[in-house]
Amino acid sequence: MMGLSNLNATHLSSAKITAANDAISALETAIEEININLSTEDRRRYGSINEQNKLFVNKVYDYNQSQANLSSPEVDWEEFAKDHTSRKNMETMISKLESIITRLNNAKTLHDYDNYQAALVDYSYTTYKAGTSAPGFEDKYRDLKQFFVKNSTSTAPPTEDKP
């Protein structure tokens, strides 16, 4: 039985790769002003508020928007609203980017699989040709066989030792 190959034969054109890279560069430029590097300690100190606390913040925001007279005068509500809006906008962007990253990783995984399967076919051909003493194949075989060190956990195909 022949193994599956070419699981992903869809390839982005050079123009689309350029467009995607340009879009990523434009995004990097667009968000440059919020480029803040937090130390490990800062991340631990400020962290990410959990879902319960997000609900709390949203409820306080809703009260401020609907009944501002009930809001503390010690809070800068204009800044609070800006932070709230920025957080929502960033959460939306992060979600979209995570979706794009998942799709890119899925496509890359299939391309990796296709490359590996084709490389195994080429290695089998090289092994065969090296056994016939065809010029150049013995050197190629010796160079490639290092990737198939025999051990009990190897998933590599069985190989024959050739000259």
How far apart are alpha carbons 148 and 141 in whole angstroms? 11
* Inter-axis angle of helices 51-66 and 77-131, nearest 10: 140
Tokens of 139: 């050197």
Tens of pLDDT along the chain (163 residues) come to 445 667 878 899 999 999 999 999 999 999 999 998 989 999 888 877 888 999 999 999 999 999 999 999 999 999 999 999 999 999 999 999 999 999 999 999 999 999 999 999 999 999 999 999 999 999 999 999 999 987 655 555 555 554 4
Q: What is the reported pTM?
A: 0.74
**For residue 1, what pLDDT is reported?**
42
Distances (CA, A) of 35 to 28, 79, 81: 9, 19, 21
**For residue 43, what pLDDT is reported?**
87
Rg for the chain, CA atoms, rounded? 28
**For residue 131, what pLDDT is reported?**
95
